[in-house]
Amino acid sequence: MLVVLLGAAAAYGFARPTSSGTTTTVNGSTVTVTASSTLTTTTAIESSLASAAQAECAAAGSTCLTILTTQSASNWASCYGPLFDNLYPWAAGKVNYVSLSTAALTTQVISNYQAHNVQSDVITGTLAGLIPTVAAGAVMNYTSPLVPFMNYSSDSYGPAWVTTNRAIVHMIYNPKVLAANNLPVPKSWTDLANPVYKNWIAFQTGTALGITTAEFYYLSTQMSNSSWTTLMQGIAANSPIITSTAGNAEQDVISGQAAIGIATFDDYVSDLKANASVPMVFDDIEPIVYTPGVVMITNGTPHPDMAKLFEAFYISVPGQTGVLCTNHDPYMSSLSTNLLTYLPSDYHLVNAYANTALLTDSGSWSDTFKTIFGA
């Protein structure tokens, strides 16, 4: 599979649709886009970014790019790394890809920024979880020069972030555990407050502002305040297993420690690909929400040119091919067709943060979930 991905990335390069007469600034130089091919346009941008990054990388020593991420640590070696190295062999072996929980990542980035000791260059994860770094000023107000030439909607990037993927959130259940304990299949999210599920639910802590938060926050935008609060309290009364990551919650369902869980799509697909008979079923409750996965550059990055090159790579065809390889849903939707066959045929995806209230007041929402669920 990786050979195919490398070939596809090499063939497409950074090509995306563009228009005539557009200009953009790359490293202080103005690039004018004429009615020539999209490949010429985006190659000019990439070439300018790569030239500066290569010089920076050569002078940096053993490491010229450090990426902090909430994705699996293995994703660099298995997916992103070979694609990045294929384009930039001079950076091979000089990228440090570090996997952390959302809480650990944001704490480290903010504390290092405040101590004037920034060590990382790029951070990736879900938008809500990383918003505290934006509020603290710990990430750079920067938008890749590729964005104006790509099919990004206005709400898919901000002053400090660009969407890379859709982290799809859904309910799963273990049919064997449900059957063995005479438990019904949940038909709605409100069913999680049913006392029959006491001690049988698992999900990631809401204080992480991650996968669980996306679903519960979306429900808050669809319900009255009192109804939502009653629902959350009813779920809490069922003594759910609170985990640090959505992946851990999914494993609790697979192992039988829990019967029902809140899962993220990439973990679900990865587990099915590894073992098609794994005891886990996608519970089709529509609509299905997603939280934007984003990339940001740290404020004070030690390697700004490498960071800008990586962001451009991440949102281009090669990087988006890497996203697909990790079983995340690429923002570049033309690449995600086969992946989305794992969703129910009637699926309807909605952005959990179309109502941006949580993004502007993330701290109080984290506190709300801690008050309700205790963690």
- The reply to whether omega before 287 is within 30° of 0 (cis) is yes
Question: What does the pLDDT average to over 40-44?
Answer: 70
% of the chain residues with pLDDT over 70: 89
User: What is the C-alpha separation between 99 and 96, in angstroms, rounded?
Assistant: 10
Question: What does the pLDDT average to over 333-357?
Answer: 91
CATH top-level class of 167-290+339-373: alpha beta
Question: What does the pLDDT average to over 22-27?
Answer: 41
Identify the architecture of domain 2-164+293-334 in CATH. Answer: 3-Layer(aba) Sandwich (3.40)
**Cβ burial 189-203 (10 Å sphere, 16+ → b, else e):** bbbbbeeebeebbbb
pLDDT digits over 114-162, tens only?
999 999 999 999 999 999 999 999 999 999 999 988 888 888 999 999 9
What is the residue-wise DSSP string for 38-95? HHHHHHHHHHHHHHHHHHHHHHH-S-SEEEEESS-TTHIIIIIHHHHHHH-GGGTT-E
| 35 phi, psi to nearest 5 deg | -85, 25
Question: What does the pLDDT average to over 157-173?
Answer: 96
The pLDDT value given to residue 338: 82
Q: What is the mean pLDDT of the chain?
A: 89
Q: Could you tell me the two tokens for 215?
A: 């679903």
For 118, 215, 353, the CA distances from 373, given in Å and listed in that order, are 34, 15, 21
Return residue ranges of the chain for CATH 3.40.190.10.
Answer: 2-164+293-334, 167-290+339-373
